[in-house]
Chain A
Amino acid sequence: AQSVTQPDIHITVSEGASLELRCNYSYGATPYLFWYVQSPGQGLQLLLKYFSGDTLVQGIKGFEAEFKRSQSSFNLRKPSVHWSDAAEYFCAVGDYNTDKLIFGTGTRLQVFP
């Protein structure tokens, strides 16, 4: 069965520090992977996605993620965090045939000045 695991429920970093949010997935075929961000009470905004090709994908707001098939991971990174990055981050795996998305439990990011 498809599943997504985000091991870190809550991460706190200082503004300007680097960030890595972990995501591991379980999927029977080549996964379609996504990272979304959600501000409180808001919908979801796509940060980046991986369908195929280059395993290092660039997204909006300076985020990037690397697909590592051997580790079944798709970790999100940002070299220097801004206070406005504080939000909830969701990793998701998609089924291309059904269009369904399976979400991880999310990681809440706090940024201190």
Chain B
Amino acid sequence: GAGVSQSPSNKVTEKGKDVELRCDPISGHTALYWYRQSLGQGLEFLIYFQGNSAPDKSGLPSDRFSAERTGGSVSTLTIQRTQQEDSAVYLCASSLVVAGNTGELFFGEGSRLTVL
């Protein structure tokens, strides 16, 4: 597709359930990022991929969070045993290379997660 595609756009789940969020980056973009944004808050970095490798997992809030990327393309962010504080918009972005001096990340529209 022309842009970064994320699914589902909205997800409501019960506390304790697992959820999977998917990101399909712009074709040819080697770098892929996951951020989350809670209501009224800034973007919180979670993890990024260079190809299929994740050099920096420091932002993952707990071991309930994991992510993978296969084929240098699609990425999945998995949250196990969801908690109410996991409720947020999960934003995926991609860039041609790890965004250094160009600074241009292309974001998807996000997956809004609500944990009841």
User: A and B bound?
Assistant: no
